[in-house]
Amino acid sequence: MIILIIAAIAFMFLGFFSYNPIRRKYAGIIGVGGSYVVLLGVMLLFSSVGQIIGTITGKSNVSALEIVLGVVVMLLCLGYMVFVMLTRCETVAQRILLPFVACLIGFGFIWRFLAAIVFHMPMESGKSAEGAFPAILYDPGENQFRLLNEGGDNARYYCEKTGQEAFFYASDLADGLPNGWRRG
């Protein structure tokens, strides 16, 4: 029990300090609301396991209805997480990190929200800078890529010459362009 409390406090502090960069990076994958659904599922997973073990050992007097309802809500929440993993995550790394990132966003949001109220700190959620994506980019082979569409924190570029597409997040372009790419 103490270990879970310490882990929750560590996640809260880590979420507070890493909220803005993680939120920006995962803005196209999961939002704050979705993060809370995943966080609820993870917390209910630990709670349900504890309730079942407590019932079996006789140390808990939780009713079967409470356990069943908890497991049903947990399965719905974790089902949503799997849905997001399969439909919105593009890489295996994103799929693996999604539960951890969602918990950090969920924990971080509430602490950021409280700090905004008490200390008048800005929330700075996943907003990207206006005009973060140039209209034209050139790859290392000097092929021209035109901005095809922009979706908040990401953009898709298309090269008419080669028929290739390139996908960038705002965070990918924040510190300059990837190796060999240049603005048009």
Residue labelled with tokens 């006789």 = 58
Report pTM.
Answer: 0.62
Q: CB within 8 A of 106, min separation 6: which ones?
A: 15, 32, 35, 36, 38, 39
Tens digits of per-residue pLDDT, 44-94?
A: 998 999 889 998 998 888 888 999 999 999 999 999 999 999 998 888 999
In the chain, where are the structural domains located?
A: 2-119, 136-183
Query: Percentage of the chain surpassing pLDDT 90?
Result: 29
Tens digits of per-residue pLDDT, 172-182?
A: 776 677 777 88
Work out the pLDDT band at 113, boundaries 50, 70, 90.
confident
Work out the pLDDT band at 128, boundaries 50, 70, 90.
very low
CA torsion angle 62 67 70 76 (round to 10): 180
Nearest alpha-carbon partner for 170 in 148, 146, 150: 150
